[in-house]
Amino acid sequence: MGDAVAEARRRASGDDLASLRRLDALMVRSGFRHADRTPREWVAELVSQGRLRRGDTYGAHEALRAIGLGAVPALLEVLANPQLAEKESADANIRLNVLEALLAPSPPPRCAVPAVMGLLSRPSARVQRQAMRALVYLRPRPTRLAVKLLLEACQDKTQWQARATALDALATLDGPVPDDVLHEALKRLSDESPYVRRSALRLLGRCTPPSEAVLHALEEQVVLDDESRVVALQVLSWLSPSRALPLLDKTARGLVGLLPNDRDGARQGLFALHLLAGMGAQARPAVGLLRRVVTHAVKRGHGDPFTWRMRVHAESVADAIVRSVPLPVEARTAGPGSPPLALALAGPGPLPVDAEHPDSARLQAWVDSLGPLSQEEEVRLCVAVARVAARVWDRHGPENDGAQSALLALEEWVLAPDEAHQRKAMEIGLFVPSQLLASELFNAAWCLHYATLMVANAEKRHVGFTGLTPREPEHLLATCVFAAYRALRSGACMTVDEGWRDSTLTWKRTSDEALAFLHRAMVDEVLPWARGEWDPIGDVLRERRRLLTEE
């Protein structure tokens, strides 16, 4: 019977309630237990602790997280009960705990959408808001009932949180955006709360292809709404790069001559450069702006940390422009290459992740398959993943230039692997990321830290934290790649996000997608060099600096 339960758990689908009910019945018949309790006993424990004012629900949540989809039918039965406690506050606490348990499986069970939609009519405002947050993750289909209930929540005149969350839930509808939802988003651009306006902007980002009315509204928002300008610029750059380019150029030009204490102006200007980098070749008309920024930074000198930030971000835009199109033949420099590494990189990437082979094991096995590597080969591979990590970091806070500075230092070491460049890279990477950072930023920072350690001599590669075992210096490359992998898995993908906080218009990569993304990044950047065809680091660095200085 144990094998039957294991097979049923593998076959269970969060989109199919019938399969979950079959799994639940099989668990009941087989006497399945986790930590000496059945799934339904753990659900009962969650309910009983939720009734208490200071109930301890941690153990029940951890157990239900481990049980997974098998506990979903019992949790839905709890939500279907019209009254769970005599006091309204206790009833709300129970429902909030059940909602949290429902969202624990990854991906969350979409068969729970009807039950969650039913919570929107509960009297508790906390339950309503949490139900709408749950719908953001469950991504319901745009049925008439779902749209009607969420549009009604947008009309809440007392709580901006309810209006903003309802707009976020509408933005995640799994299907075309209905016209009445679009009209509501346009209307909410004049809401008194900046949080509601930002949610409305993210909802407009779903309108593809965008109408002229939407594009005009976004352009107006960039000009009129100081508090939401960053979000409006990002959504506009996603929907229509050609319409966004003049506004991004104007915003970034404000960096030249900016007062040192103008933090908002600095943040908006640097984020405009970040958005230009995301546009790739479409940002080429802004090359004149980049030259002006670099010239201004050179005149001010390295003593001004703000001008250095401007310069490294201008270089990141130039780098994106150069990399987005094939490099001219005359700009390519052939070299001896590394035939063994070329042969290894031309082979298959990491194998798919499964229960017996977790992500770290698959990644470690692929790195080991590359064979013995020289220090330059290791650093080149790390630069490729550090470029991904730097992009993740800049999406949330480009006013901190640490990511781009570390990447630039690594590139310069590759071209001139001397003691001065080694010291510079290690000094930039000498930090311990704060655990208060968002998960994707925390892991991106560790990736950059490990990458800078690669330029050090073997005896100086002291690794304090690693997600891989064994924790030895020779596994530093795998550790660096694994940190970038965790940044991709824990954060949202680079589509439309607010910058400085997660967006509802982003999706998270699966384990296999994240591994494939990093494998592609390393192959694209290192394989041409390994084959001796051209150097994607040195040749691109020279070409982008020519772009920034050539009149």
86-96 residue pLDDT tens: 888 899 999 99
Q: How confident is the model at residue 254 (pLDDT cuts 50, 70, 90)?
A: confident
**pLDDT score of 392 more than 60:** yes
Q: What is the mean pLDDT of residues 472-501?
A: 66
Residue boundaries of the structural domains of the chain: 1-136, 141-239, 242-333+539-550, 338-492+508-533
52-64 residue pLDDT tens: 877 788 899 999 9
Distance CA 86, CA 66 (A): 31
Q: How confident is the model at residue 51 (pLDDT cuts 50, 70, 90)?
A: confident
The reported pLDDT for the residue numbered 468 is: 41
Q: What is the mean pLDDT of residues 388-406?
A: 85
Q: How confident is the model at residue 203 (pLDDT cuts 50, 70, 90)?
A: very high
**Is 102:9 a contact under the CB 8 Å cutoff?**
no
Q: Measured in Å, how far apart are the chain's first and last C-alpha atoms?
A: 75
Question: Partners of 34 in the beta sheet?
Answer: 37
The reported pLDDT for the residue numbered 491 is: 57
Q: What is the mean pLDDT of residues 224-239?
A: 90
The reported pLDDT for the residue numbered 113 is: 93
The reported pLDDT for the residue numbered 285 is: 93
Q: What is the mean pLDDT of residues 256-275?
A: 83
Percent of the chain's residues with pLDDT above 90: 50
Q: How confident is the model at residue 355 (pLDDT cuts 50, 70, 90)?
A: low
Measure the CA angle with vertex 547, ends 545 and 551; round to 5°. 120
Q: How confident is the model at residue 510 (pLDDT cuts 50, 70, 90)?
A: confident
More confident residue, 315 or 398: 315
More confident residue, 497 or 443: 443
**pLDDT score of 198 more than 90:** yes
Q: What is the mean pLDDT of residues 488-495?
A: 58
Q: What is the mean pLDDT of residues 130-137?
A: 91
**pLDDT score of 501 more than 60:** no
Query: Which CATH superfamily is 141-239 part of?
Result: Leucine-rich Repeat Variant (1.25.10.10)
The reported pLDDT for the residue numbered 227 is: 87
31-48 residue pLDDT tens: 899 988 999 999 999 999
Alpha-carbon radius of gyration of the chain: 26
CA distances from 379 to 318, 357, 424, 528 (A): 22, 27, 15, 15
Q: With the CA atoms of 300, 306, 309 and 310 taken in that order, what torsion angle do they form, in degrees rounded to the nearest 10?
A: -60
Q: How confident is the model at residue 12 (pLDDT cuts 50, 70, 90)?
A: confident
144-189 residue pLDDT tens: 999 999 999 999 888 899 999 999 999 999 888 899 999 999 999 9
Q: How confident is the model at residue 496 (pLDDT cuts 50, 70, 90)?
A: very low
Neighbours of 14 (CB within 10 A): 20
**pLDDT score of 499 more than 80:** no
**pLDDT score of 542 more than 90:** yes
**pTM exceeding 0.85:** no
Min mean pLDDT across 161-175, 297-311, 339-353, 457-471 is at: 457-471
Q: What share of the chain is helix, strand, coil (3-state, %, to 5)?
A: 70, 0, 30
* DSSP-derived 3-state class of residue 37: strand
